[in-house]
């Protein structure tokens, strides 16, 4: 299980773009009045995409306001789902699966390798704001273990060498 830290406050009131706001209302419309809290998880994912990949307290308060629920209800959901980020993250977030099947074929060594290579520990972000390392529970790709998820992309059958190549490629693509 990954550890959870105190939520961060930025003091900036977020504002969904008109397109995102439309999507929010669409997500809410899937549920009957009074049950719109059910759209919360989807809206939080959307909020991450909109606001730099993570959920500040300000963002969570904003979502609570939109859904007309208590902020604490949003915090609870945001801290429960480890795939949601409640701290600032890098441009690239690696989520390395470390459940049984992945562990058996070397996810721990892989994590160690990434930690050394990026000079960060699990849950940390590189100083240049480029990479964040997280771990995850089974991501449903056990047949391709060991694996990591990065955004919507799965990187599978990993070895330390493959991870090095992936890191270099992301640096090339997203670095300055
Ligand atoms: S155990 Fe890693 S994807 Fe299932």
Report pLDDT digits (tens) over 22-78: 999 999 999 998 888 899 999 999 999 999 899 999 999 999 999 999 999 999 999
- pTM of this structure: 0.81
Could you tell me which CATH number the domain at 92-174 has? Answer: 3.40.30.10
Q: Indicate where the chain has its CATH 1.10.10 domain(s).
A: 18-80
Check whether 2 has a pLDDT greater than 80.
Answer: no
Contact 66 CB / ligand 1 (< 6 Å): no
CA of 170 from ligand 1 middle (Å) equals: 23
Give the number of the atom of ligand 1 that is nearest the alpha carbon of residue 100: 1
CA of 112 from ligand 1 middle (Å) equals: 18
Contact 147 CB / ligand 1 (< 6 Å): yes
Beta-sheet strand order (sheet of 148-150): 131-136, 92-97, 148-150, 153-155
Q: Does domain 18-80 have CATH number 1.10.3470?
A: no
> How far, rounded to the nearest angstrom, does the alpha carbon of residue 94 sit from its chain's CA centroid?
9
pLDDT tens by residue, 118-138: 999 999 999 999 999 999 999
Give the number of the atom of ligand 1 that is nearest the alpha carbon of residue 136: 2
Give the pLDDT confidence score for residue 43 in this predicted structure: 97
pLDDT tens by residue, 91-109: 999 999 999 999 999 999 9
CA of 149 from ligand 1 middle (Å) equals: 11
Contact 145 CB / ligand 1 (< 6 Å): yes
CA of 34 from ligand 1 middle (Å) equals: 37
Find out whether 108 and 98 touch, Cβ atoms under 8 Å: yes
State both tokens at 70.
């208590």
Of 83 and 154, the structure prediction assigns the larger pLDDT to: 154
The Cα 39–Cα 24 span in angstroms is 8
């Amino acid at each position: 299980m990954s550890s959870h830290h105190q939520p961060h406050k930025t003091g900036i009131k977020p504002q969904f773009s008109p397109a995102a706001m439309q999507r929010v209302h669409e997500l809410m419309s899937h549920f009957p009045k009074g049950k719109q809290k059910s759209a919360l998880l989807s809206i939080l994912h959307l909020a991450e995409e909109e606001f730099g990949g993570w959920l500040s307290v300000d963002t969570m308060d904003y979502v609570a306001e939109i859904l007309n629920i208590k902020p604490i209800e949003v915090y609870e959901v945001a801290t429960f789902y480890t795939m949601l980020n409640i701290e600032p993250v890098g441009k690239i977030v690696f989520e390395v699966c470390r459940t049984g099947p992945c562990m058996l074929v070397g996810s721990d060594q892989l994590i160690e390798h990434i930690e050394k290579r990026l000079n960060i520990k699990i849950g940390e972000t590189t100083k240049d704001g480029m990479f964040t390392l997280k771990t995850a529970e089974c991501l449903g790709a056990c047949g391709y273990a060991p694996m990591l998820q990065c955004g919507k992309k799965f990187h599978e059958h990993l070895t330390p060498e493959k991870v090095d190549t992936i890191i270099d490629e992301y640096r090339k693509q997203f670095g300055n």
